A and B are shown apart, each in its own frame.
Chain A
């Protein structure tokens, strides 16, 4: 029984050693997470890459490519809002839950909703942008039209006209890529290989549509909302979907796309 008392005393004593909590702070965009608790979440799961100062200079950052995000700048690559705007809480939550495929950013789907909400609230305290700007409004995504041979054919033409310079034949071997590209942080960056059937962020044709429409912040990937109509962007998305085993792609359209001239091939032929 005395040991039980010791156990109890130890536990009660330990409770008193708890860390001082930062004041609860709602982040921008009406997020009701607890930034203080979010810092605890960050220190457990994120600090090794993103660093104690959230500057992207964690102890494994030197071995990471692409480099971990510097949250002090408030620039987030993947957003459902137009290029240049802050992402929504849902955008940040998606990256936390799904991770970024092929990078050191793992999926944290096992974290509770509260943990994710709290760490987002903490991240939103790390850049002054969150105090002066509101997150962008997500783009409107029209209903996805059926992916057909015609759409894929038209999508290939649009891809050739708008994307080949960087993405080349879809594998990321365009002239600009060969020449060398850098992102806003001065780091070398390569265009995505779209034939792999999955992007860092994108999984479906809808995701490809969002990326094509809004671009990728901080990178040479521009938004195409001004250059292409939604219908055209869907066609590009369906062509890209047919380049690899993307979720929702069909074998029939993949085989069809494989028979088409590679982007850049027809125009460069003598």
Chain B
């Protein structure tokens, strides 16, 4: 069973949010990894090559867009891994920046219930 678990990496600087997301995804049968800033997120991502990424935009050290750009530079794993941006920003500059790097979806935190975020991830991973 353990091998079937999909790994999801959540990169979010707000601890309470990070905890909520990690707890929810673990409950839903994921192996949830976490990071609290862009640089740490990049390190974990390159080491673990998770199946899915959820990234915030405004973060210390490295913002989410830059992080996504760097991940996409990795040709083996990073080019295709599905990424969701989960953020407080809703301006089209951020959305179109994110679209440049093949973001799977761009979600505004307040508009989404955790159940629906999980559903979206599961749909993408065909679970």
A, B co-complexed: no
Interface residues of B (CB under 8 A from A): none
